[in-house]
Structure 1
Amino acid sequence: METFRDILVQLRQFLEVPLVRLGGAPVTLWAIIQLVVLVVLLFYLSGKLRTWIVDQLLSRTRMEPGARQATGSIIRYTVIAVGFVVILQTAGIDLTALNVLAGAVGIGLGFGLQNVVNNFVSGIIILFERPIKVGDRIVVGTVEGDVIHIGGRSTTVVTNDNITIIVPNSKFITENVVNWSHNERKVRFRIPVSVAYGSDVHLVERLLLEVAAANPDVLEKPAPGVRLMAFGESGLNFELRVWSTTLIHRRGFLTSTLNYAIYKIFADNGIEIPFPRRDIRVLTDGVGNRVQ
């Protein structure tokens, strides 16, 4: 028993050996271990707190999912900032002695970690201004998909191919972002259609409206519309305009479904869909010789 006690005493003496001094206070190995353990617990518990706030507390309110996620993230960052200061004081580290170190870290952040800081600040701006939120359908650069998570450094987007893409938050601040569901999930689709010259334009309009009315993903209000847009080289260029709230994440599917239905109803009613034609004239000199 005394041997075990002696080992504990020696271990304690070893852990309390000063490694460096910050100001007038020594920093021991025990303080460093305590600091690491407490920081790990801080990040773990703050993550659990965020999950509880988003999934339990705020889910009982009328806040939309994106607002709940933003509120939870802001609370977590606040808890981490305050908790880190408390942990430093608990570990016996003099904060006033860290002024020089903070200045050096600031210089390092300005040069080596400027992209990380830029993305983090951009994440804070996104959470406060909410140009995008969880559940939105967005297009930024060549990336198009649904936002499933907004973090401090990056935003996670899932495409229609079920591919997860991690987008740096600064992209949403410095580039043009198309948000298909920023105000509401109601988007107008434009379906270009061309018919041959000589077609009954009123019949074409009626058939296109029938196709729109028969599609369950097309809204009745606002009502679908048909416009004669131009007199093309090969035919009359119409445009079917429809509204949808269910397929903004699968716009190609809705366009394809409508095109299939348009092709069938045109064929059943004798409406010709034109293709490019070119008339070639050969000039001769009157005796059958081609003129060069």
Structure 2
Amino acid sequence: MNQPEATQQSPFHTLLATLQDLLTLAEGFLATFLRPWNFYQLGIAVAVFVLAHLLAHWFTPALRDWMRSREGWPTWRMRLLIMVQRRLRMILFVVLIWLVVNVMKEVTWPSRSYLLTIIAELASAWLLIAFATRLIVNPGARSLMRYAAWTWVTISIVGLADETQNLLESVAIQIGDSRLSLWLAVQAVVLLVALVALARFLAGTGAASIRRNDSISPSMQVLAVKFLQVCLYGAAFFMALKLVGVDLTGLAVLSGAIGVGLGFGLQKVVSNLVSGVIILLDKSIKPGDVISLGETFGWINSLGARYVSITTRDGKEYLIPNEDLITGQVVNWSHSNDFVRLDIFFGTSYGDDPHLVRQVAIDAAAGVGRVLTDRQPVCHIVGFGDSSVDYILRFWISDPSAGLTNIRGNVYLALWDAFKANDISIPFPQREVRVVNETLPAIRD
């Protein structure tokens, strides 16, 4: 007697029974649907849709012209208007179909507007889902969430929610003491996508608010944004698991295994992560700073969890591990301020007046565009060479990210022009070759 009972309760028989119930409900629905007044209601719905299409075609140009005149509006408001403009036909259809339903309920029997009510509820739900899923940035996740929500709402409105749930519950596998059904998997995916989308929206909104706060330094802004993202995405993941009934106590064992793996195989990764947090906390570098690390000179684009992105003057982007910035010697040209002093060396002939040379050099450097005038250039004699008097010219700039080699070249060019205008010569080595014995012995074979 036990064997037949086990066979009766098998998942296969449960699935067949659920499918049979669905077929019975479908037959009953078709029998109810194939009535004359239902075709009248379908005709009314089609007429309302055609009217909504014509009205949308008439209103759309005026709405677009009005949107173009709204200059200076916030981005979120313009995006909302674009969504309304793209779904204007559906919005008008929902408004008109509910007006028709309310009128028919007043002048006819409830059965004469039953199908129209279902159509109105479906259209309203689909429209709300279309607007709500726009919060999901990823196109694939947005489409998945939208079609899943449309499917479930449609099933719920037509009264097949319980039967569909039973059907999905009957498709399951047994893993030890746990039973994993298709219904549980669908719930997990939908909840995870929805919560991650919500977390991403909240993270983006919070990050924008943090970046607008001028009282927070750039490095602390990056740290606050990263911390907010980790908290929100972590909360979304664990909430999704908890809501579908997954026991989170088993994650303790997984956390221990991850800790062992980090200790042996991911030392560099963890070191870079910790170094990134230290960099953000001590504010040693921040986005926009101009730094030199070894042979690499450029400005910081972004601070990542594992690396720092640096762009050089030749357009190359270097990804420097955070650990290298902590352990290596880094020259930050704009750590406390953007002022940078540059030195160039030159020499003039002994026949030129050094007082005149210094003044001409200072005036020439001050006339270059990027050289600061509130911090006057200075010029000093640094030595007497074999064939020239040697000088050093020092000047300040406030935009090191615009380049150092180019400003040095411009100053050298200004010195050349100024020295030529004032008859100041720049000596260069000259060599004489003298032949002592002009008569050379003949070369014998």
TM category (shorter chain) comes to 0.7 to 0.9
Moved more, 87-96 or 262-271: 87-96
* Paired position in structure 1 for 2:333: 180
8 Å CA contact 1:27, 1:93 repeated in 2: no
C-alpha spacing 1:233/1:43, structure 2 compared with 1 (3 Å): farther
Q: For the aligned residues, what is the CA RMSD?
A: 3.1
Letter matched to residue 22 of structure 2: E
* Paired position in structure 1 for 2:254: 101
Distance in 2, Cα, partners of 1:149 & 1:265: 42
* Paired position in structure 1 for 2:371: 218
* Paired position in structure 2 for 1:168: 321
| Count of equivalent residues | 284
Distance in 2, Cα, partners of 1:182 & 1:48: 33
Q: How does 1:89-238 map to 2 (within 5 A)?
A: 89-238=242-391
**1:97-138 per-position Cα deviation (integer Å, ceiling 9, x unaligned):** 333322222121222222222222222222222211111112
Alpha-carbon deviation of 1:91?
4.1
Letter matched to residue 235 of structure 1: S
8 Å CA contact 1:154, 1:167 repeated in 2: yes
Q: Percent identity?
A: 33
Distance in 2, Cα, partners of 1:142 & 1:89: 51
Distance in 1, Cα, partners of 2:188 & 2:266: 23
3-state SS of 2:171 partner: helix
Distance in 1, Cα, partners of 2:402 & 2:364: 21
Distance in 2, Cα, partners of 1:36 & 1:118: 33
Alpha-carbon deviation of 1:189?
0.9
Work out which of the two has the higher radius of gyration on C-alpha atoms and give 1 or 2.
2
Q: Name which structure has the greater RCO, CA cutoff 8 Å, separation 6+.
A: 1
C-alpha spacing 1:231/1:164, structure 2 compared with 1 (3 Å): same
- TM-score, length basis structure 2: 0.56
8 Å CA contact 2:371, 2:397 repeated in 1: yes
* Paired position in structure 1 for 2:175: 19
- TM-score, length basis structure 1: 0.81
C-alpha spacing 1:165/1:117, structure 2 compared with 1 (3 Å): same
Letter matched to residue 323 of structure 2: S
Distance in 1, Cα, partners of 2:181 & 2:294: 50
8 Å CA contact 1:231, 1:237 repeated in 2: yes
3-state SS of 1:264 partner: helix
8 Å CA contact 1:65, 1:135 repeated in 2: no
Alpha-carbon deviation of 1:159?
2.0
Letter matched to residue 53 of structure 1: G
8 Å CA contact 1:66, 1:135 repeated in 2: no
**1:51-83 per-position Cα deviation (integer Å, ceiling 9, x unaligned):** 323434541544344443332222222333444
* Paired position in structure 2 for 1:242: 395
8 Å CA contact 1:20, 1:28 repeated in 2: no
Structure with more helix by fraction: 2
**1:122-156 per-position Cα deviation (integer Å, ceiling 9, x unaligned):** 22222222211111112223332221211212222
3-state SS of 1:170 partner: helix
**1:184-236 per-position Cα deviation (integer Å, ceiling 9, x unaligned):** 11111111112122321111100111112212311123221112122233322
Structure with more strand by fraction: 1
3-state SS of 1:71 partner: helix
8 Å CA contact 2:383, 2:390 repeated in 1: yes
Moved more, 219-228 or 63-72: 63-72
Distance in 1, Cα, partners of 2:409 & 2:192: 53
Moved more, 107-116 or 181-190: 107-116
Distance in 2, Cα, partners of 1:141 & 1:170: 14
8 Å CA contact 2:365, 2:415 repeated in 1: no
Alpha-carbon deviation of 1:11?
2.7
Q: Which runs of 5+ in 1 are unaligned?
A: none
Letter matched to residue 396 of structure 2: W
Alpha-carbon deviation of 1:282?
7.2
Alignment partner of 1:9 is 2:29: no
8 Å CA contact 1:123, 1:151 repeated in 2: yes
8 Å CA contact 1:74, 1:127 repeated in 2: no
C-alpha spacing 1:18/1:72, structure 2 compared with 1 (3 Å): same
* Paired position in structure 2 for 1:73: 226
Moved more, 4-13 or 120-129: 4-13
Moved more, 177-186 or 166-175: 166-175
Letter matched to residue 313 of structure 2: N
Distance in 2, Cα, partners of 1:142 & 1:26: 59
8 Å CA contact 2:276, 2:304 repeated in 1: yes
8 Å CA contact 1:58, 1:68 repeated in 2: yes
Alpha-carbon deviation of 1:243?
0.7
